[in-house]
Copies of this chain bind each other. A is one copy, B any other.
Amino acid sequence: MRKVFQAELHQIGEELTQISQLVTEAMRKATLAFEGADIELAQDVIAADARIDFLQNDLDERAIDVLALQGPVASDLRMIVGSLRMSASLERMGDLARHIAQLARLRYPANVVPDNMVETFREMAQLDIRISEQLSELLETRNLEMSKEIYAANSRINELHAGVFKSIASPDWNVPAVSTVDLTLASRYFERFADHGVSVTRKVNYLVTGEWHPLSESGV
C-alpha cells in the first residue's frame, strides 16, 4: 500500500514538472510569435494550451483518487493539496502565454510592440521564460536556492511593468490608442505570469520547509 502511495506521489510530482515544462515551451514560442509577428507559432501556442489543460485535469483527478484511496495525512496531505493549487497556477500561466500568442495573432502581420518598447518587452519575456525554467527545476530538484532568483526576476518584471505605464503617461507617447491597449494587456500578462510563478515557488518552499512567508501582493 505504502509503495503504491509513494509511486502515486512521485507521479503527481512528475506531472507537475511536465506541465511546468510545457508552460516554458508555450512562453518561449509565444514570445517569438509576439516579437516576430509569427502567426504560425502563435497558432501552435494556442492549440497546445489544450494539452496543458488536459494534464492539469489529469493531475487533479489523480490527486483526488489518492486522497480517496489512501487517506493521506500530515505532510503527504499538504503535498497533494499543494499540488492541486500549483497545477491551477501553472494552468493559468499556460493561459497567459496563450493570451500573448493571441495578441500576436490579432495584430498579424503588424507587430504588437512599437520599436521604442521592444527592449522592455524582450526583457520581460526573457525573465518570464527564465522563471518558468527555474520553476521546472525547482519542482524537480526541490533545490530552494532557485527561489531567490525567481523572486528577483519577479521584482524586475514589476519594475518593467511600472515602466511601461510610465512611458505611456509621458507627454511624448504618440502610439495609437489600440496599441496602447495591446501594450497594457501584454505588460499585465507578463506580470501576472511571473506572479503565478512566485505563487508556485512559495508553495514549494512551504512544502519543503513547513514555513509560510507571505509576500505583499503587487497592486495594479
Known interface pairs A64-B81, A168-B178, A180-B181; 17 further A-B residue pairs with C-beta atoms within 8 A, sorted by A's residue number:
A67-B67, A67-B77, A84-B85, A85-B88, A95-B217, A99-B219, A102-B220, A165-B178, A165-B181, A168-B180, A169-B177, A177-B177, A177-B180, A180-B180, A181-B184, A185-B220, A188-B188
Give the interface residue-count category, chain A.
20 to 34
Contact partners of A67 in chain B: CB under 8 A: 67, 77, 81
Which residues from 143 to 187 on chain A have a C-beta closer than 8 Å to any C-beta of chain B? 165, 168-169, 173, 175, 177-178, 180-181, 184-185
- Which residue of chain B has the shortest Cβ distance to A178 in the bound complex? B169
A residues adjacent to B (C-beta < 8 A): 64, 67-68, 71, 73-74, 77-78, 81, 84-85, 88, 95, 99, 102-103, 106, 165, 168-169, 173, 175, 177-178, 180-181, 184-185, 188, 217, 219-220
Query: By DSSP majority rule, is chain A's interface helix, strand, loop, or mixed?
Result: helix
